[in-house]
Amino acid sequence: MKYFFFAIAMLTLTLSCQKDESPAPTGNNVLHYDGDNFSGPLLAPGIHELAVRFPAADLAAHKGKRIQAVSFFAGNNPADCKVRIYGQGTATQPGSSLYQATVTNDLNTPAWNTHTIGPDLTIGDEDLWVSVQVQHPAEQQSIGCDAGPRKNDGDWLFLSTDGDWKTFEERTGQSVNWNIRLVLEE
């Protein structure tokens, strides 16, 4: 039954996202796991943080490059939205916060949004976690995802209700990747 509701929710966001006119950032300077926006998860009321993790080994070719922006697909406007970047933690939980900005009033929906990173952050020798934190007063779809299949580290989800980081696949059985991208200097 939960899969039926998930399918209906995915169809609803897919149909509502048809007016998207902004292109997704692409190129050699864009790090991501996702494909084209397909839909988005229907999230319960509360605070949720959707993240992608880039292991240090995958970042090695970009060492020393400056992080310019974080791009993500926003479906419906959440009550609150933050872009966050974390340093190395473990393979299943981010480390300390390196950057955070509230972007609620700057969102275009449904569309790709690009938030320029203010301070100088560069790629080093450690993992990076890039997230979008949303808060909902009611059940809604606010962050986009592709149609899958899931790639390792492309679907991390923190729920305020259990205080734990797990993959979306672990939580729901669904195989997707968040539409979250890290844009580096060229």
Q: What pLDDT was estimated at residue 16?
A: 42
pLDDT tens string 95-108:
999 999 999 999 99
The DSSP secondary-structure symbol of 63 reads: T
As assigned by CATH, the class of the 2-184 domain is: mainly beta
Distance, CA of 143 to CA of 145 (rounded, Å): 7
pLDDT tens string 7-38:
434 434 443 444 445 788 888 899 999 999 99
- In the predicted model, what is the mean pLDDT of the chain? 90
Task: Name the percent of the chain lying above pLDDT 70.
Answer: 88
Distance, CA of 92 to CA of 70 (rounded, Å): 21
Q: What pLDDT was estimated at residue 7?
A: 41
Q: What pLDDT was estimated at residue 25?
A: 85
Residue 60, judged by CB atoms within 10 A of its CB (0-12, 13-18, 19+), counts as exposed
pLDDT tens string 53-74:
999 999 999 999 999 999 999 9
| Residue scoring higher pLDDT (153 or 17) | 153
Distance, CA of 87 to CA of 127 (rounded, Å): 6
- The full set of domain ranges for the chain reads 2-184
Sheet harboring 128-136: ordered strands across? 97-102, 80-86, 128-136, 46-54, 156-159, 164-167
